[in-house]
Structures are given as C-alpha cells and as structure tokens.
C-alpha cells in the first residue's frame, strides 16, 4: 500500500511518462516510425508514420540511396519520455529547451516543442534562423548537439562498385591522403627530395539524382552535328549568350550517354563528362529522411549552417593542421600550428587572426574530438567539449548569395596525423508559414497573459506557434513540464516458431538518451 501510494504521489507531483506519437520533433524525438537500414551504406535511420501509413520507399540521408523498400518493415512506437512536472514551477522556461504543454487549441492534448520566444519579445523567422528583438538567437553547444541533423557519416560508405551513380564525398589529394578504417592518414612532412606542402581532404556534397540547382560550364560553341536542345524542356541545354553548357539538377546517365554519343567532337564530349560530375555536386538543403518525400516536407531551402565533427590523432611534425568551412559568404579556418604552439581562427577576408589561444598540450598526446560549427551565424571551435576561444559572431546572411558545393576541407602541411572519424551535420532550417522566407510575431507580456513561442525541430511538418491562430496562444499556465530522458525504448521484432510467425516488443537500448 505504501509503495502504491508513493508511486501515485511520484507521478502526480514529480515525474510522468509520455509517448511521442508524431514526428514534429524528429529526429530529436521520434513518433511512430519504421527503422530503416540503408542497403547501400548500412546507415540506420527512422522513417515517420503518418495516419497509420509509412511511405513505401525511403531515401537514405547519408548516401542519398533512393527506393529503399519499407512495406515489409514493422512499425515502431514513438519515443517514451520522462517529464519533470515541477521544473517550470520554480523557474522560468529557457530559450531552446524542450517543453511539454497543453495544446492551446485543444487542452486535452499534450504537445512537445522547443521554446524559442519568451513573453514580451519580438520573434522573427528569417531564412532559416530565429531572430529575437532583431538579433539572431544563437544556440549553445549542447543545444546544437541536441538538434543537429546528420548530413554524412564517412564511417558508412556505400558498397564499392555498386553503381556508377555514387562517388565518395570526402576526396583527398593524392598520394598524401590515404584511406584508413572510417578515416584517413596523411604525412606531409619534408623529406630529402621534397619540401613540406599543403595537402587537402575536401568534402563535396555528391548526390545521386535530382536537385534543384543549376550547373554551368564554359563551351565555345554547340557542335553543329548535334541537335540543339530546347532550354524550356531539356535538362541540359546551351546558353548561346554566355557560351555555357547548363544542366538542371544532377545529370542522368541516360542524358550523359545520349549527348556524348551525339557527336565526335572531343571538346564537347569532354565538357559533357565534366558537366556530369559537377552537376552531381550540389548545395546542401533541408532534407528530412524522416518525412514523406513530397513538396513542402523539406529539401527545398539551401542550408549554410553546418558543423564538422572529426576525431584527430596527431603523430608528429612541425607545421599546421587546419579545418576550413565555407558558407558561400566567407571561408573560416581553424588552424593548429605545432611550430608556434598556437591555435587560431582566421577568415579568408581578414589578414590577422580573429581569435588565438595556446595549443592545448593534449593535442600532441592523444586523439581529440574537434567540432567546428557555423550554426546561427557564429564560428564555434570546440576540442573535447571545450571552447578554445569565444565564438566569432557574424552578421546576418544577405539574401541571394550563391551556396557552396564544397562545404568543408581539412588540410595538413608539415605534419603526420590520422583522421579517425568524419561527420558533417546541419542545423534545423526554420521555415515561415505560407511559403515566405520571413515572418514576425509580437509576444504579449501581461500579468494575466504571458505568451511563449515554440517551434518543432522537424520544421516542415510541425504544427506550432507559426501556424496557430493568434487568438489561441501558448501561455505559462499551459506548461506541463520539461522532458529530460527517453526511457524504456523498444522496437518490434518478428518471431518465427515453425510455421507460426508473430511479433513482440524487445528493448532498444540504443535509443536511451538525455533530451537537449
């Protein structure tokens, strides 16, 4: 009796569990879904279920492999979260933390979203970022880690020679950068017959098909023996005014072969091969593998806010190692100088470093995790979870600047080291409703009406403050608590006993995690 009473009191006043049913916070929190293992690169990801149905085909977010069959896969329940019911009774909600609250439109329903706006503030969603009172709302490192979305994990490479439509995204200058298990090794130290030199490992965002980008390549003239394509219909055409070949999206193998075989003009055939390769190197977009792939569910906005995470094992040498990131506006270099025993941040457009610090001694002694982030228009450089210097803040991105297709690179000069892992992430790209790239909201702050603004991490499909009627808003009275842990996760497994087949729930400990 005492134990039962304790459980009742614990649930009533302290902690309560909830099950996530929708994908509005994916991939931070998963609703009903199917777990997919890509047959090409073996990367595992979730595919959302909506209205009791999942798409029949999925696309891998790691290697862009499409047409993954899902009909035979079992449904999985959403994440079960533990919610601290008293947190907001003794302190004010913080920006960027996740909260559970009663749906302002139907208080019998519980919603979970991320808080971005507080009472009395002006909130603006502008080209993917959140602005508060005219200033960009920047996220701390733990929040960035909590909602970052994987773009590519080099540890999951597609099957070799599986098809001609995949090329590695990380490519190294030869013979310097040599592949190793899940990474690379490089040695650019001087030798008798050569001086120390820079060698680069470059990330290019290779896609297998599709894309909304255009690729241009100079060509003096279209061959007279080949039919001139129609710019209104053909994916590849000739821009006579600028003397350029133009390709919309990634060129298909069929188009490449047809154009290549249409003439014996060697310059034209070479140009088609070059255009084919370049057309498959694309800007990064707000693609969500969790969502059904239909217009409006992501993959339409260009994303510049990226993060490189790599584990580096320095071996020897007096020289430099650097990580460079390119957002299409500038190039940002994080430099490790073993000769001067200094670490610094440099911008391509500036002469002197904008940040400097002593090189930590552990860089030469052990492998270190390096994270370089361009989230929220700031450059953040982190070693083993510690900021090496204050983030460098950047002005808001202007409209219309060309997005990069080679978003990052790693360089070595005069040193030997191993890159043990390589991951690229992107930030959430928040969309304004109605197709606009900018929208503004004013939040009330009265004693009887303190208004909060919340967004879902899965911005294209989240129903949140952007879409609610302004007469029905989230106030402090509707908060139910702060979720802090995904607990007791499970997955559906199929059991075969002779001619009998059944399904049962089994623990999935890999999904236990703290919520950030």
Mean pLDDT (whole number) for 414-424: 96
Instruction: Give the single-character DSSP code of 191.
Output: B
* Token duo for residue 290: 């969790």
Report how far residue 333's alpha carbon sits from residue 411's, in angstroms, rounded to the nearest whole number: 10
**What is the reported pLDDT for 311?**
97
**What is the reported pLDDT for 181?**
82
Higher-pLDDT residue of 472 and 421 is: 421
Q: Cis ω on the peptide bond leading into residue 175 (within 30° of 0)?
A: yes
Using DSSP's 3-state secondary structure scheme, residue 501 falls into strand
Using DSSP's 3-state secondary structure scheme, residue 388 falls into coil
Let me know if 140 is exposed, middle or buried by CB neighbors in 10 A (0-12, 13-18, 19+).
middle
CB atoms under 10 Å from CB of 514, counted, come to 10
**What is the reported pLDDT for 52?**
80
Instruction: Please name which of 397, 216, 433, 233 lies closest in space to residue 302, comparing C-alpha atoms.
Output: 397
Confidence bin at 443 (pLDDT 50/70/90) = very high
Instruction: Give the single-character DSSP code of 360.
Output: P
Mean pLDDT (whole number) for 205-227: 93
H helix or E strand, kind and range, residue 260: helix 253-260
Mean pLDDT (whole number) for 172-199: 89
**What is the reported pLDDT for 402?**
87
Q: What pLDDT, in 10s, does the model give residues 112-166? A: 999 999 999 999 999 999 999 999 999 999 999 999 999 999 999 997 655 668 9
Helices of type H across 280-402: 362-365
Is the pLDDT assigned to residue 385 strictly greater than 70? yes
Cβ pair 491, 80 in contact under 8 A: no
Mean pLDDT (whole number) for 364-380: 97
Is the pLDDT assigned to residue 337 strictly greater than 70? yes
C-alpha distances (whole Å) from 183 to each of 180, 311, 362, 363, 370 are: 5, 9, 21, 18, 14
Cα separation of the two ends of the chain: 36
Helices of type H across 286-411: 362-365
Report how far residue 223's alpha carbon sits from residue 459's, in angstroms, rounded to the nearest whole number: 47
Is the pLDDT assigned to residue 373 strictly greater than 70? yes
Rg (CA), the chain: 26
Q: What pLDDT, in 10s, does the model give residues 303-325? A: 999 999 999 999 999 999 999 99
Helices of type H across 331-471: 362-365
Report how far residue 189's alpha carbon sits from residue 179's, in angstroms, rounded to the nearest whole number: 18
**What is the reported pLDDT for 487?**
83
What integer best gives the mean pLDDT of the chain? 90
**What is the reported pLDDT for 227?**
86
Determine the length of the chain. Answer: 516
Confidence bin at 507 (pLDDT 50/70/90) = low
Q: What pLDDT, in 10s, does the model give residues 4-63? A: 333 343 455 589 999 999 999 999 999 999 999 999 999 999 999 988 888 889 999 999
Question: Which residues have a Cβ under 8 Å from the Cβ of 92 and sit 6 or more positions away?
Answer: 118
Got the DSSP string for 433-456?
GGG-SEEEEE--EETTEEEEEEE-
Is the pLDDT assigned to residue 424 strictly greater than 70? yes
For tokens 């209104």, name the residue: 232
Is the pLDDT assigned to residue 267 strictly greater than 50? yes
Is the pLDDT assigned to residue 493 strictly greater than 80? no
Report how far residue 452's alpha carbon sits from residue 123's, in angstroms, rounded to the nearest whole number: 10
* Token duo for residue 353: 């470093």
pTM for the predicted model, two decimal places = 0.93
CA atoms within 13 A on the CB side of 182: 10
**What is the reported pLDDT for 488?**
73
Is the pLDDT assigned to residue 295 strictly greater than 90? no
**What is the reported pLDDT for 50?**
84
Higher-pLDDT residue of 350 and 109 is: 109
**What is the reported pLDDT for 408?**
98
Give the rounded percent of residues in the chain with a pLDDT score beyond 70: 92
Instruction: Please name which of 449, 499, 502, 492 lies closest in space to residue 472, comparing C-alpha atoms.
Output: 449
Report how far residue 208's alpha carbon sits from residue 41's, in angstroms, rounded to the nearest whole number: 13
Is the pLDDT assigned to residue 3 strictly greater than 50? no
Q: What pLDDT, in 10s, does the model give residues 63-87? A: 999 999 999 888 888 999 999 999 9
**What is the reported pLDDT for 363?**
96
Mean pLDDT (whole number) for 493-497: 67
For tokens 């320095």, name the residue: 314
Please give the biggest Cα pair distance in the chain: 92
Helices of type H across 302-434: 362-365
H helix or E strand, kind and range, residue 12: helix 2-13
Confidence bin at 400 (pLDDT 50/70/90) = confident
Confidence bin at 502 (pLDDT 50/70/90) = low
Report how far residue 12's alpha carbon sits from residue 480's, in angstroms, rounded to the nearest whole number: 11
**What is the reported pLDDT for 495?**
65
Tell me which of 94-98, 190-194, 238-242 is least confident.
190-194
Cβ pair 121, 111 in contact under 8 A: no
Cβ pair 451, 475 in contact under 8 A: yes
């Amino acid at each position: 009796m005492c134990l039962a009473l304790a459980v009742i009191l614990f649930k009533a006043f302290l902690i309560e569990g909830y099950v996530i049913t929708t994908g509005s916070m994916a991939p931070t929190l998963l609703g009903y879904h199917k777990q997919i293992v890509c047959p090409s690169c073996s990367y595992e990801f979730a595919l959302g279920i909506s209205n009791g149905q999942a798409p029949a085909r999925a696309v891998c977010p790691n290697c862009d492999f499409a047409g993954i069959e899902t009909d035979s896969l079992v449904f999985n329940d959403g994440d079960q979260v533990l919610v601290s019911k008293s947190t907001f009774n003794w302190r004010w909600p913080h920006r960027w933390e996740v909260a559970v609250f009663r749906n302002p439109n139907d208080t019998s329903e519980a919603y979970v979203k991320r808080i971005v706006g507080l009472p009395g503030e002006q909130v603006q969603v502008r080209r993917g970022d959140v602005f508060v009172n005219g200033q960009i709302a920047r996220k701390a490192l733990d929040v960035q880690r909590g909602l970052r979305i994987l773009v590519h994990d080099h540890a999951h490479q597609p099957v070799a020679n599986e098809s001609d439509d995949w090329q590695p995204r990380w490519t190294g200058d030869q013979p310097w950068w040599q592949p190793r298990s899940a990474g690379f090794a490089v040695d650019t130290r001087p030798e008798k017959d050569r001086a120390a030199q820079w060698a680069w490992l470059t990330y290019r965002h290779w896609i297998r098909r599709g894309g909304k980008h255009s690729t241009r390549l100079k060509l003096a003239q279209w061959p007279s023996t080949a039919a001139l394509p129609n710019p209104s219909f053909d994916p590849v055409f000739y821009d006579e005014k600028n003397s350029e070949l133009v390709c919309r999206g990634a060129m298909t193998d069929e188009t490449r072969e047809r154009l290549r075989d249409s003439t014996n003009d060697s310059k034209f055939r070479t140009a088609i091969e070059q255009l084919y390769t370049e057309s498959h190197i694309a800007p990064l977009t707000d693609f969500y593998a969790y969502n059904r792939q239909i217009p409006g569910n992501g993959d339409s906005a260009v994303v510049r806010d990226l993060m490189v995470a790599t584990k580096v094992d320095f071996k020897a040498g007096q020289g430099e190692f650097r990580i460079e990131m390119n957002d299409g506006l500038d190039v940002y270099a994080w430099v490790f100088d073993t000769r001067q025993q200094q670490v610094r941040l440099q911008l391509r457009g500036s002469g002197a470093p904008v940040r400097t610090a002593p090189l930590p001694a552990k860089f030469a002694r052990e492998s270190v995790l390096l994270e370089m982030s361009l989230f929220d228009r700031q450059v953040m450089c982190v070693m083993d979870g510690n900021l090496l210097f204050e983030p460098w803040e950047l002005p808001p991105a202007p409209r219309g600047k060309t997005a990069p297709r080679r978003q990052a690179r790693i360089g070595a000069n005069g040193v030997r080291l191993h890159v043990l892992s390589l991951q690229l992430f992107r930030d959430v790209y928040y969309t304004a409703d109605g197709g606009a790239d900018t929208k503004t909201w004013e939040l009330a702050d009265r004693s009887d009406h303190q208004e909060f603004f919340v967004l879902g991490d899965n911005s294209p499909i989240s129903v949140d403050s952007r879409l609610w009627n302004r007469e029905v808003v989230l106030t402090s009275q509707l908060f139910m608590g702060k979720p802090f842990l995904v607990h007791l996760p499970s997955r559906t497994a199929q059991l075969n006993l002779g001619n009998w087949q059944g399904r049962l729930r089994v623990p999935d400990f890999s999904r236990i995690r703290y919520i950030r």
